A and B are shown apart, each in its own frame.
Chain A
Amino acid sequence: MEQLTISKIREGTVIDHINAGKAPLVLKILGIDKGSKETVSLAMNVPSKKMGKKDIVKVEGKFLGEEELNKIALIAPGATINIIKDYKIVKKFKVTPPEKLEGILRCPNRNCISNAEREPITPKFKIVKKSTLFAVCEYCGRRFSNFEDNLE
């Protein structure tokens, strides 16, 4: 008999089909940490027919914006988002990478002004999809695709 790993939520956002092991990074991208008010359930290495193993994140009582959720595509391109109201899915969509990104990532170029201490500067990136997904720093032009290593 199938067993529910984590319980259903009444209202909020469910992020499904996250690549196994990436759920903590998803929380980081969404700015959810120990200081956040939301109730968060997290399941890792859940068996999945499509993916073998996957992670799931459920955020109770919070409706995250589509733009905010699309940032997840940087590290979990196959993730799906379910918006839940009264235990029912009212909206479902796949994440798509944003065209522009402010914050979240830091430029890997140590000589970039966006890494300068004491400057009131927010790193800005263009997100470009060619054969692979990569970010281009709007300040120094450095191109990179290793998003996980460069999360703020």
Chain B
Amino acid sequence: MKHLISIEDLSKSDIERILNLAEYLIPVAEGKKRMEIMRGKILANLFFEPSTRTRMSFEVAMKRLGGEVVNLTSQEASSIAKGENLADTIRVISGYADVIVIRHSLEGAAKFAAENSSVPVINAGDGAGQHPTQTLLDLFTLRREAKLENVKIALVGDLKYSRTVHSLVKALKLYNAKIYYVCPDTLMLPEELVEEVGGERVALEDIISEVDAIYVTRIQKERFPDEEEYRKVAGSYVITSKILENAKEDLIIMHPLPRVDEITFDVDKTKHAVYYKQAFYGVPVRMAILCEVVEWSN
């Protein structure tokens, strides 16, 4: 049995297979076509941290494929935590379900869950660690809306704590991407990751006319020692339609969402904004992932 814990669990051909299947499943994700591949299967959504998009998109993905879903939300999770450890919780729930999706605040929790599970485990985000399903939908978005091979991409915002960015840069390396980092000193990507994947730090204005994609993340106010420090950097990483005047015609702007104020509302109306489509792509991509892991378990 195989689990999906890190994007590094997948080879480039695994990724291509999942993205191709996701492409095929788009009409099913849209509800235009019916499919019952998961009939009789149960997905356990274990969210020890609150989530809207990831949890719901997994739920929708499973239901659109004819399967069923049981949920453990953060409220119930906190009561479980009072009396039962994660290992026992997973051992019990893997007896109830055919596949487990887990989000947890501790890094490595999904790997540990997989070690204690008798069914496939999918990591839906562990602390500041990995978020491989988000990465797959990000790759899918790039492939559909811009390009994936040799893409020039600027990563903007909090690159230090963003698990979506940590997973994404590893995958982009497989596609010979040119990566630019746009962030304050204090929020730069961890050094070992830069060593591994390359890329350079730049000012957005200097490369805006060259890049195919901008991937924006929220600068997390709670990470700053004082609010004044946050205010200094927050304003300098806002994507506005004015900044985009020098951009390529077909530049796309991505964001894993939720957005706070790092992209102004006027950008939403431009053809560059693909973040809502990106969120939708979570459904077909997660459908493809479910098919893949259930296949692995067989």
Interface residues, chain A, CB within 8 Å of chain B?
109, 111-114, 116, 118-121, 137-143
Confirm or deny: B276 has a beta carbon within 8 angstroms of a beta carbon on chain A.
no
- With an 8 A cutoff between CB atoms, is B224 at the interface? no
Of the stretches B13-21, B105-113, B148-156, B246-254, the one at the interface is: B105-113
Q: List residues of chain B with CB under 8 Å of any chain A CB.
A: 85-87, 104-109, 111-112, 126-130, 192
Q: How far is the CA of A109 from the CA of B87 in the complex (A)?
A: 20
CB <8 Å contact, B107 and A112? yes
Q: Which residue of A lies closest to B192 (CB)?
A: A143
| 12 further interface pairs, Cβ-Cβ under 8 Å (given A116-B106, A141-B107) | A111-B105, A111-B107, A111-B127, A111-B128, A113-B108, A116-B85, A118-B85, A119-B112, A138-B111, A140-B107, A140-B108, A141-B108
Task: Please classify the interface of chain A as helix (H, G, I), strand (E, B), loop, or mixed, using the class held by over half of its residues.
Answer: loop
A141 and chain B: residue at smallest CB distance: B129
Q: How far is the CB of B74 from chain A (nearest CB, A)?
A: 17
Task: Look across to chain B and name the residue whose beta carbon is closest to the beta carbon of A115.
Answer: B106
Instruction: Please state if A111 and B112 are interface contacts (CB–CB under 8 Å).
Output: no
Interchain residue pairs A-B with the least CB separation, the first 6: A139-B108, A140-B107, A113-B108, A140-B108, A113-B106, A113-B109
Q: Point out the residues of chain A lying under 8 angstroms from B107, CB to CB.
A: 109, 111-113, 139-142
- Point out the residues of chain A lying under 8 angstroms from B105, CB to CB: 111
Nearest chain A residue, comparing its CB with the CB of B84: A118
Question: A139 and B85: CB pair below 8 A?
Answer: no
Q: Is the CB of A139 within 8 A of B87?
A: no
Chain A contacts for B111, CB-based, 8 A: 113, 138-139
Report 13 cross-chain contacts, Cβ distance below 8 Å, ordered by A residue: A111-B128, A112-B108, A113-B108, A113-B112, A114-B112, A119-B85, A119-B87, A121-B112, A138-B108, A139-B111, A140-B107, A142-B107, A143-B192
